Amino acid sequence: MDHRILSLVTCALLTCNTAVGVEVSDFDSIKLYTLKNQNEMVVDITNYGATITSIRVPDRAGNIADVALGYRSVESYINAIDRPYFGSVVGRYGNRIAKGSFILDNNKYTLATNDGQNHLHGGKMGFDKVVWKAEVLEDSVKFSYLARDGEEGYPGNLALSVTYSLTDDNEIVMHYEATTDKPTVVNVTNHTYFNLSGEGATTINDHVLHINASKFTPVDAGLIPTGELRDVAETPFDFRTPKEIGRDLDAHDTQLKYGLGYDHNWVLDRIDDAVELAAMLYEPNSGRVLEVLTTEPALQFYGGNFLDGRLVGKSGKAYQHRSGLCLETQHSPDSPNRPEWPSTVLRPGEKYNTTTVYRFGVK
């Protein structure tokens, strides 16, 4: 049986020559969904982990490249060494919870620990490791997953969905919704690694990054926030004016040492609850631009510090140190243990409702 998911086999729902639409490829319960728009932008998403496996976008000369890191086969996603979470939805709590525990309504919950003594990205079988139910809508695809009460230690049956749409403005719109039958915590995000030169290129240190944030959350050696909200001013963490990522990477800075580079959470300068610009990424040679917009209060910028050349990507090239970066919209790590920070608690009768947009362009 052919387990490759990166080539289309059928065009089950819309005809292949439809400029805007969704195509579906079948591999048992794991399928690949392809979104296309009128500008030759093509996005592949699988219901395994609700994972974006490829994003093909033009550069300023119109040349198409795949700017998302990922694997060639389903097996690689399932058996991924070191678990990089390429393109997946991570949760029930994306990012870390200290010592894998938190107290909610006087009850202590103990979660799976999978990052030293801490909990990371939902635990051993997080949302990146499960098969989601897929539903094809007009020009979007909706993935749903019911996380059971007790799964990875979390309370409450959580009915979660993420809907991916592709607009003719070259935007991938991700809309997350969830309800629960017991008080719980939720913090889901997408974990796509970008390299705007094209996946397989060496480093993202030449990319120019803007983060719309005046403060970040310093961490301890285990990457758990200390509780301080620190001004980015006069630190390597100041991306309020667009800056080459590599510029301050070698600064003598304890935070950069702990993160092995950038692996931190920025508290966004927000106006209100609308979808607002969180970050802008620009790669000067190709001219490709990515803007990240969100309703979320914070952003994890992870600079691909754990990539070390051992993972071989979909085009056969090894992913080297810092050859991809993540811009993960979310609430700050360890918020369940930080009652003074924006809450991640979801209660019965409430609706979790967040939107994040990856908007591509050139300049």
Q: Tell me: cis bond preceding 60? Omega within 30 of 0 counts.
A: no
Closest CB to ligand GLA among residues 140, 335: 335
Q: Which two tokens stand for residue 152?
A: 């990875």
Which helix (H) or strand (E) segment holds residue 267: the answer is strand 263-268
Closest CB to ligand GLA among residues 58, 304: 304
Catalytic residues: 191, 328
Indicate whether 296 belongs to the interface with ligand GLA (CB under 6 A): no
Known binding residue 95? Answer is yes
In whole angstroms, the minimum distance from the beta carbon of 288 to ligand GLA comes to: 22
Known binding residue 263? Answer is yes
Indicate whether 306 belongs to the interface with ligand GLA (CB under 6 A): yes
Q: Which residue of 223, 267, 289, 299 would you call a contact of ligand GLA, by CB under 6 A?
A: 223
Indicate whether 89 belongs to the interface with ligand GLA (CB under 6 A): no
Indicate whether 258 belongs to the interface with ligand GLA (CB under 6 A): no
Q: Find, among 32, 64, 321, the residue nearest to 193 by Cα.
A: 321
Contact 201, 70 (CB under 8 A): no
Q: Find, among 86, 25, 16, the residue nearest to 55 by Cα.
A: 86
Instruction: Give the torsion sign (CA, 243, 246, 248, 254).
Output: positive
Please count the residues of this chain forming the interface with ligand GLA, following the rule CB under 6 A: 10
Q: Which two tokens stand for residue 157?
A: 């049956």
**Around Cβ 61, how many Cβ atoms within 10 Å?**
8
Indicate whether 151 belongs to the interface with ligand GLA (CB under 6 A): no
Indicate whether 263 belongs to the interface with ligand GLA (CB under 6 A): yes
252 by Cβ neighbours in 10 Å (0-12 / 13-18 / 19+) ranks as exposed
Near ligand GLA in 309-338, by CB under 6 A: 326, 328
Annotated binding residues, written as ranges, equal: 95-96, 191-193, 263
Q: Binding site for beta-D-galactose: what residues are annotated?
A: 95-96, 191-193, 263
Binding site for ligand GLA (CB under 6 A): 84-85, 120, 223, 263, 300, 302, 306, 326, 328
